[in-house]
Structure 1
Amino acid sequence: MFMEFQFSLAQLTVLNTSPVEIASMAADCGYDFVSMRQIYMGLPGEPDFDLAKNSTLMRETKKVFADTGIRLLDIELARVFDGMDVKKYEPAMETAAELGGKHVISSIWTPEREYYLEKFAEICDLAKQYNLTVDLEYVPIASVKTLAGTVDVLRTVNRSNAGLMVDVHHFHRAQDDVAELAKLPAEWFHFGHLCDAPGEIPAEKDEMTRILREERSYVGEGGIDVASIMNAMPPMPYSIELPNLKKVAELGYKEHARRCLETARAYCAGRVTGRKA
Structure 2
Amino acid sequence: MRPYSLAYLNAHRCTPPEAVRVAAATGYQFAGLRLWPNGPSAPQQFLIDRPDVLRETLAALADTGVGIFDVEIIRIGDSFDPHTWDSLYDACAALKAKAILVAGDDTNEARLTENYARLCEVMAPYGLTADLEFMPWTAVKDANTALRVVQNAGMPANAGILVDALHFGRSTTTLDDIRALPRQLLHYAQICDATAGTHFSTEDMIHTARCARLLPGEGNIDVRGLFAALPADLPVSVEVVHHEREKTADPTQWAATCLAASRPFTG
2:226 equivalent to 1:229: yes
Please point out which of 51, 72, 89 is paired with 2:68.
72
**Distance in 2 separating the partners of 1:162 and 1:30:** 29
Structure 1 equivalent of residue 106 of structure 2: 110
CA drift at 1:200: 4.7
Structure 2 equivalent of residue 218 of structure 1: 215
Deviations 1:186-223 (A, max 9, x none): 11111111111123554322222211111111112211
2:163 equivalent to 1:166: yes
Counterparts of 1:1-277 in structure 2, within 5 Å, are 4-44=1-41, 46-49=43-46, 51-158=47-154, 159-234=156-231, 235-268=233-266, 272=267
Percent identity over paired residues: 28
**Partner letter of residue 111 of structure 1?**
T
Deviations 1:85-119 (A, max 9, x none): 21021211121122121111111012011221121
**Partner letter of residue 236 of structure 2?**
Y
**Distance in 1 separating the partners of 2:258 and 2:99:** 22
Deviations 1:13-69 (A, max 9, x none): 2223211111111111111100111223444452451x2300011000000000111
> What is the TM-score normalised by the length of structure 2?
0.94
Question: Is this contact kept in 1: 2:70–2:98, CA < 8 A?
Answer: yes
CA drift at 1:239: 0.7
**Partner letter of residue 171 of structure 1?**
F
Question: Is this contact kept in 1: 2:30–2:68, CA < 8 A?
Answer: yes
**Distance in 1 separating the partners of 2:37 and 2:213:** 23
> What is the TM-score normalised by the length of structure 1?
0.91
**Distance in 1 separating the partners of 2:200 and 2:91:** 39
Closer, same or farther: CA 201–244 of 1 in aligned 2, 3 Å: farther
**Distance in 2 separating the partners of 1:43 and 1:242:** 23
**Partner letter of residue 249 of structure 1?**
K
Closer, same or farther: CA 200–171 of 1 in aligned 2, 3 Å: closer
CA drift at 1:252: 2.5
Which sections of structure 1, spanning at least 5 residues, go unmatched? 273-277
Q: Helix, strand or coil for the counterpart of 2:173?
A: coil
**Distance in 2 separating the partners of 1:33 and 1:177:** 28
Deviations 1:139-158 (A, max 9, x none): 11111111111111011002
Question: Is this contact kept in 1: 2:172–2:198, CA < 8 A?
Answer: no
For the aligned residues, what is the CA RMSD? 1.6
Q: Helix, strand or coil for the counterpart of 1:236?
A: coil
**Distance in 2 separating the partners of 1:68 and 1:92:** 23
**Distance in 1 separating the partners of 2:185 and 2:42:** 34
CA drift at 1:183: 2.1
Question: Is this contact kept in 2: 1:16–1:47, CA < 8 A?
Answer: no
**Partner letter of residue 251 of structure 1?**
A
**Distance in 2 separating the partners of 1:61 and 1:30:** 18
Give the length in aligned residue pairs: 265
Question: Is this contact kept in 2: 1:11–1:35, CA < 8 A?
Answer: yes
